[in-house]
Structure 1
Amino acid sequence: MSDQPTAEHTLEGDERALQRLRELRGSIDNLDAALVHLLAERFKCTQQVGELKAAHDLPPADPAREAAQISRLRRLAEDARLDPAFAEKFLNFIIDEVVRHHRAIAARPQQAGGNPR
C-alpha cells in the first residue's frame, strides 16, 4: 500500500473539486469501457481477415497496408490533437497482436471441408 495520499483524500473539504474529479473519472471509466468494446469488435473483424488469409495462403502480415494505416492514423491523431507518435505506438501494438493471431490461424491444421491450401 502506498504512503502517498490519494487525490480524493487531498481534495477533502473542497466538495466542488471532489465532485468534478468523480465526474471526470466516471467519464474516463466510460471511455475505457467503450475502447475495450471497440477493440473487441476490431479483433472480431481481424479474426475473419486471418481466416480468409489462411484459406487463401496469404501472408499473415501486410506491410504495405500496415504502413498506410499508420500514416492514416497519424493524420487522424493530428486532426484530433492527439500525439501522433502515441497513436502510432498504439496502432503498432494492435498490428503486432493481429499478426500474431494471423500466424496462429495460419498454423492451425486445415479443417475437413474447408478450402484447400
Structure 2
Amino acid sequence: MREDKKVLGTSKENALLQTSNSFYKSFAVECSKNQVSIDMFLFSSQYQDVASLSNLPRYTGGQTWFYPGWNAGRPEDAIKFASELSDHLSSEIGLEAVLRVRATTGLRMNAFYGNFFNRS
C-alpha cells in the first residue's frame, strides 16, 4: 500500500502519509525525554518511507529535508543541499524550552501546531 502510486489523487492517498509502524515515534519520544533533537536530510533516488522517518524530527523539535531523485553529480542538487545545510548549521536555535499553556475554566486547547512533543 505504501508504495502504491495508483492511490495518488484518490481518497486513499492520506494512508500514504500515515506511519507504517510505531518504532520511530517511540524512539523519538525517548529522544525527547533526554533533550535530543533530530534533524534529517534524506537523499534518495528510490522509495523511502518519509512518513515514518519524519516522526523522528516531528516529535523531537527537529526538521526534515527531503531530496527525491537526488543526484550528487547534478550541480543544482549539490548547490541546493549545500545552501540548505549551511543555513541550518548557521541558524540560531533554542534547546530545552518549556511552554506552559493555561486557559480559564471552561476553555480547552484542542490543537497545537509545530514540531514538538506534548508531555501532558
Common fold: TM-score over 0.5 = no
Higher Rg = 1
TM-score normalised over the length of structure 1: 0.31
Question: Would you tell me which structure has more strand in proportion to its own residues?
Answer: 2
TM-score, length basis structure 2: 0.30
